Structure formats: C-alpha cells, structure tokens
Chains A and B, each alone.
Chain A
Amino acid sequence: MANPKKRRKIIIFSVIGLVLVALTLVAIFRKKQPVITVQTEKVTRRNLTELVVANGKIQPVTQVVISPEVAGEIIALPVKEGDRVKKGDLLVQIKPDNYEASRNSAEASYKSALASIDLAQAQLEKAETEYKRNRDLFQNKLVSDSVFLEFKTAYEVARLQHQNAIHQADQAKFGLDNAKSDLSKTTILSPIDGTVSRLKSQLGERVLGTSFNMGTEIMTIADLNEMEARVDIGEMDVVLIAPGQKARLDVDSFKDRKFTGAVTQIANSSKSTGLTSSSSSQSQEATKFEVRIRINEVEAFRPGMSVSAEIETRYRTNVLTVPMASVTTRPPKSPEKKDNPGKNTAKSGNTNMTPSTPARATNTALSATATNITGTNTTGTNNPASDKKSKEDKAIEVVFVANGDHVKMVPVKIGICDNDYWEISEGLTEGQEIVSGGYRAISKDLEDGKKIKRGTPDKGDTKEAK
C-alpha cells in the first residue's frame, strides 16, 4: 500500500521539479532582446505649410549710386549720410573753373567761326560780282579765256571757302555745347527722393569720372520707404519658389516683431559662394540663387540688416501628418542576403530623415551637408558597380508603428513638410501610434519587430538642431 503511494509521490514531485527546473533554465538562458525606450505620438490630420528658410540682407528696392561724369575737386558737399533729399536737390559741386574756361574758349571759337563765315560771305559776293562782269565781257569777246578763267576759279574758291567757314562754325558750336555740358556736369543733383545711405567722398576730394565709365562712387541715395529682403536660396529649394509667394521675415534688429512680404524676383543665374572646410584645404562651392522679397511693413530698416525669411511654398489642408523625427530611411529588405541571411546589413545606410525633397533645408551651408547625410543621397561614388548597387539598395522612407510592446516598420510615402511635421500620403492611417523619438532609436536601433517601451528620452538623445 505504501509503495504505490510512495511511487506516486515520487512521480508528482519529479514532474513538478522538472517543470520548475526547465522553466527556470529557459527564463535564465533565453536570448534577451534589448528593449528600446521610445516616445510615441498619434498620426493626426493637420494643415501643413511648406516653408523654405533662407538668410540674407535687407536692401532698398530703389538705390542709386552717385558718381561724377567729370573729374575735379569737390568744392561743395551739402549732404551727409542719413540726410533725406528730394529729387533735384544739390548733392555735389565739382570745381567748375576748368570747365568754365573750356566753355569760354569754345564760345570764342564759335564766335570766331561765325565771323569767318561773314568774311567768307563777303569774299564770295566780291568774287561772284567780278565773275559775272568778266563773263559778260568774255561773251562779248572783250577779255581773253585765261582772264575769264581766273575770275571763274576765284569765284569757285570763294564759294567753297564760304562753305568751309559754315562747317567750321558748326564744329565750333558742337565744341561749345560739349563744354557747356561738361560744365553742367560739375553740379550733381539728386535723381530721386530718398536718403543718403552711404557717403564715400569728402569735401575737397578729387573725383574721377567720364561719360563712358563709372567714376568715383561719391554716395548712394536709397528710397528707404520700400525695402526688400535679398536672400540666398540653394538650388534644391529655388525650384519651389515663385513670384507672389508669401514670406515671414525675422529681422535680427527687431526681435519682437514679425514682418511679412512677398517674393518679387528670382535670379535666373546663380551666384556661387565658397565654403572652406575647416578640416581640409578643399573648398566646396554652394550654388545659391538670389531671391528678393518685398517687405510689406515700413520700419526703420537700414540697408545691410540681417534677415531670415520663411517662404511659404506649398500648402496642404487636413492631411495626415507625423512628427518630423518619426520618418527615417531603411534599405529595403533584400531576399538574397547570402552572407548573413538573418542579419540586417544595412546599418550604414540608416539615417534620420532630412527631406530628399528640397523644401525643408535651410539655405545655409548646412543644407549642403544635410543632403550629404540623407539616406537617399549617401552614395556619391564614380564607380558604376557601386552606383548600380546603390540604385538597387536605395533606401526607403519608413515609420515605426507601435504595436503593443514591439514596433512594425511601415514604408510610407511622404509629401511636403513644415518645421515640425511631414505629410504622409500613403502607408499610415489616422490615429495610429507611431514612434516619434529618441533620435538614436529611430535612426539606428529600431527594426521591424523590435521590442520597445515607452518612456522619456535619455539625456543627449536628441538630434542636433539644424
């Protein structure tokens, strides 16, 4: 009786013991998948305004550089920098003495030429009279051929001399006009209403100038009532800019105020600005195009003030949006991973998303470097084999959807973006919970199926600000 009972006890305790040991060993030695701390947000609908951000300077719309057309010493300079002037006001008086002398000389020459005309006229009349008299005599055979010919020739000469005198008088007249013109150019008047924004010359300076070349820059007159922001925009973003687009402007000198404007002009040709890398001696040129934005508000702007512009390029209403940090790139899954079938070999291509579409990049040197780190622009080799490989392995934009305690990697199609959000046109639905932080988790650590826990970000786990 005792034996069956004892056997039963042994069996039960053995089973219990085995189960406990087995479960304990499994719990201890199971492959522990690291749990990644993330932050999440929901996919929501928003209105989005795509912005292109650029920096530049404020300049007047109308600005005239005053330079002389004649050389000489400045003897009067009644304006100073900052003065308001009206059209026709005296700006500069150049010493006219030489030009007055030239004018007087030219006038005397002209008068002399006129007197020469009178003289030639008198001689012509005399020669004509004698010619006619001798012609009559010659017709009556009272004078010889040679005598008649002399008087005829003298008449012709007198007539030509008269014509010559007239032309010389014209020439003298032109010379006089020229001298008068040069004299008038010694007085420079303001061509527009405006403000003396820059005064480069001083009283007593000698200035140079000709009618054909720009002379010494004496001053600049600008109409400060109409100002514009001239910003430089990179080639990737400039294609989105069109005249008439609204812009928001931040002027460093007026931190408390926001200004508005509209795009008026887009440069057709670029102006390259050199960038020298501090780590190497090579320089890299960034291609920029100047865009002009008329400022709507009137304020005490001064030419040359720094300005930052946000140009509204595109709008979307009530579209699905996700935080900008949520979108990243991953290489597509390749079925032909011979080396490591279970391993994700695409770590090197993983980045957090800066737009491959050009809208978001700021128009500074950072935009050039930003495009260098986007997943879509990482390969820049000249090797056809690697180019082909890079085309095949082109990274795709993905978002990580939080499914309980793990994530699912979902390819998405992105649209426009503003400062904070991307438009999602395909791949997500409203209300889905997606991973929005930390930066390292999204850009490197997360893969499809990885375990997550929601929590606050670690210190330092933030993307550096652009």
Chain B
Amino acid sequence: MDPIPPTPELPAALPVPATSLAGRLLNVLAAPGDVFAGIKTAPSSVANWLVPVLIFAVIGTISMCIMFAQPAIQQTIHDQQVKAMDKLVQQGKMTQAQEDQALQAMEKFAGPTLMAIFGSIAIVIYGFVSIFGWALVLWLAGRWWLKTPFDYLKALEVAGLSSLITVLGMVISTLLAVILGRLYAGPSLALLVGDFDPTNRGHLLLGAVNGFNLWHAGVLAVGLAKLSGTPTVKTATAVFGFWVLIELLLIGIGLGQWAL
C-alpha cells in the first residue's frame, strides 16, 4: 500500500487589514461584508457595539425632541388620544366626563417636553433591546439552525454596527416628518397613504415595508453569513424570515407602531 500523501498545507488566510472604529462605522453602510469579515478575525471589541448604541441613543433623543416640537405632530398625537378615548367612551369603559378630564390632564401635564423626554427614554431602551435582541437572534441562528456556532459577543458587534443603518433611517424619517408634518413619515410604503392610521393593520403593514428596515435586515444577513461561514442566501432567509415574523407579531398584538 502506498503511504497516504500528507495533506498539503493550505496557505494561511490572508488577514483583513484592521480598520479604525470610524472606518468600520462608515464602511458598514457601503461594504458590510468587509467590515464583518474583519470582525470575525479581530479580537472582540466593546466599542463595536457600544458606540453604535450610543449614537443610536443620541440621534434618537434628538429625533424625538425635533419631532415632538412640531405642532402638526403634537396635533396628530392629540387626535390619536382623543380617538382612543372616544372609542373607550363608546364601549362604555369610560364616561364622557372622564374623557374630558383625562384630556385636560394630558394637555396640562403631558405637553411636548414631557412627551419628548419619554420618547427619548423609550428610544434609548429600544436601541439597547434591539441590538441585544438581534445579537441573540444571530447567535441562536448560528448555533441551532446553521450549526456553526460563534461567540455571542461577535454577534453583538455585528448587530451593533448594523444598527447604524437604523440610525440613518431614523434621521431620514425625522426629516420627512418635519417636512410632511406627519408622525409616521418613514421612507416606507406608508408615505402613499394620505391619512395614516396607526390602528389600521393595513397601514401598519405598509409602514413596515421600510427601505431602511430591509437594508438593516440585509446587512445582518451578511454579518451572519460572515460569522458562520455560510452562504448569504441561507442567512438572508433566516434573518428576513425572522424579521417578517416579528413584524407580523407586533402588528398582530397591537404593537404595530413599534414595527415601523
């Protein structure tokens, strides 16, 4: 028997040149594959997810302040509150006098400043929850579905850097809200709806079809593909499938505004 020839040594993987944090933050928009390839090989860095979260929080807070300062948006919120209370009155869960009292209290104590503060707190919390949540989804997908486990911290870095797309989307949405005077004015199919109703599931579905949400999901899919070493098509199926499920679930249980 001939001896088994030794397995030829594969050349070592070419190391991806390390980029600065700023470079990674910018390149995730234009060349996410390169960024995530570098993430995979480089040591874990807290900055990769913490800085995007902080950016998300700051931009989110500014966005809330700007939006709640718009009279048209204040009016929209007021109309929604009135509509919701009218519905309760019609259902007999509240009397008209109680509705009037509640609206007066809201006008007095829940002005634009307070709404901006609460909105900012909510957006900061959402930022953290979103990043950690998506990181968990990627980690679980890699571990259980793709059978190529990787470190949770890596998933966190991918989710963190991907969130910059959401930040960009938030900026665009804020500018559109100011221009159009509408609360729900993201770059989505909801722009085609004249009188957007956040309680209307159809409108919410249209609002969920947001370009930046889709872009974000795509970049996450690229990140998962890079971390797990599986084709992007497969990871995209997982990520987009999960995204659709979450959107439908949120819309279905009445939290559709969080799906926008």
Contacts and interface: CB of A to CB of B under 8 A. Distances in A.
A9 B30 contact: yes
B167 to A, nearest CB: 12
Interface string A260-292: 000000000000000000000000000000000
A452 B27 contact: no
B75 A35 contact: yes
B175 A405 contact: no
Nearest to A402: B79
Contacts of A456: 107
18 contacts: A5-B31, A8-B30, A13-B29, A16-B168, A19-B172, A20-B172, A23-B172, A23-B179, A24-B175, A30-B179, A404-B76, A404-B79, A404-B195, A405-B79, A405-B181, A453-B71, A453-B74, A454-B78
A271 B133 CA distance: 87
Given A9-B30, A13-B30, 6 more contacts: A9-B27, A9-B31, A20-B175, A23-B175, A452-B75, A453-B74
Nearest to A22: B175
Contacts of B176: 23
A12 interface: yes
A88 interface: no
A451 B181 CA distance: 10
B50 interface: no
Interface residues of A, number: 22
B72 A451 contact: yes
A304 interface: no
A452 to B, nearest CB: 7
A438 to B, nearest CB: 15
Interface string B15-48: 0000000000011011100100000000000000
B135 to A, nearest CB: 25
Interface string A430-456: 000000000000000000000111111
Contacts of B248: none
Contacts of A16: 29, 168
Interface in A370-418: 404-405
Contacts of B31: 5, 8-9
Contacts of A452: 75
B76 A405 contact: yes
B189 interface: no
B29 A12 contact: yes
Nearest to A403: B195
A27 B76 contact: no
Contacts of A26: 175, 179
B168 A405 contact: no
